[in-house]
């Protein structure tokens, strides 16, 4: 089985590195971007199974970024996992409403992150409609 490709978007370099190390360590192939704009460029050239995005991003924030990905019919089947240090009431609801498939809060638990990503990648990719 070829390893699934994961795109991680976070403006904090150290946290980006942590998620990369954790997921690469679990056998995933990983791409990274520092903000949503850069992520959109990455998405022009590769097709990840999962996008793991911070919500608080400079410029286009994680929620808007998610809405764009989920609103694009060419990307149906793409999984978006929100990752945020902002755990206020209603944040998860807002993330879900924007189209996020899962919501994780920082600080991340490495094993928990791997399990969540695996839950979306262990089954075959849905067929494009």
Tell me the site size for another protein, rule CB under 8 A: 21
DSSP symbol at 99: T
Report the nearest approach of another protein to the CB of residue 10 (Å): 10
- Determine, following the binding rule CB under 8 A, whether residue 93 of this chain makes contact with another protein: no
In sequence order, what are the residues at sequence separation of 6 or more whose Cβ sits closer than 8 angstroms to the Cβ of residue 7?
A: 30, 31, 32, 33, 39, 42, 43, 46, 48, 50, 51, 52
Single out the residue of 52, 42, 47, 41 nearest to residue 8, CA to CA: 52
Report the nearest approach of another protein to the CB of residue 13 (Å): 9
Report the nearest approach of another protein to the CB of residue 18 (Å): 4
- Determine, following the binding rule CB under 8 A, whether residue 109 of this chain makes contact with another protein: yes
Which residue, 14 or 123, has its beta carbon nearer to another protein?
14
Task: Give bridge partners of residue 31 from the DSSP assignment.
Answer: 7
In sequence order, what are the residues at sequence separation of 6 or more whose Cβ sits closer than 8 angstroms to the Cβ of residue 115?
A: none
Q: Kindly state the tokens that stand for 55.
A: 């919500």
Report the nearest approach of another protein to the CB of residue 83 (Å): 9
Span near another protein by CB under 8 A; candidates 1-9, 12-20, 34-42, 65-73? 12-20
Residues that bind another protein in the complex, under the rule CB under 8 A: 12, 14-15, 17-18, 21-22, 25, 56, 85-90, 106-111
């Amino acid at each position: 089985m070829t390893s699934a490709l994961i795109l991680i978007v976070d403006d904090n370099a150290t946290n980006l590195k942590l998620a990369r190390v954790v997921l690469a360590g679990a056998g995933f192939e990983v791409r990274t971007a520092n903000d949503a704009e850069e992520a959109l460029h990455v998405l022009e050239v590769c097709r990840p199974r999962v996008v793991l995005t911070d919500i608080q991003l400079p410029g286009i924030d994680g929620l808007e970024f998610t809405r764009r990905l989920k609103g694009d019919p060419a990307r149906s089947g793409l999984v978006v996992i929100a990752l945020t240090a902002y755990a206020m009431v209603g944040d998860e609801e807002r993330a879900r409403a924007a189209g996020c498939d899962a919501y994780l809060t920082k600080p991340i638990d490495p094993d928990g992150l791997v399990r969540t990503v695996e839950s979306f990648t262990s089954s075959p990719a849905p067929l494009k409609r």
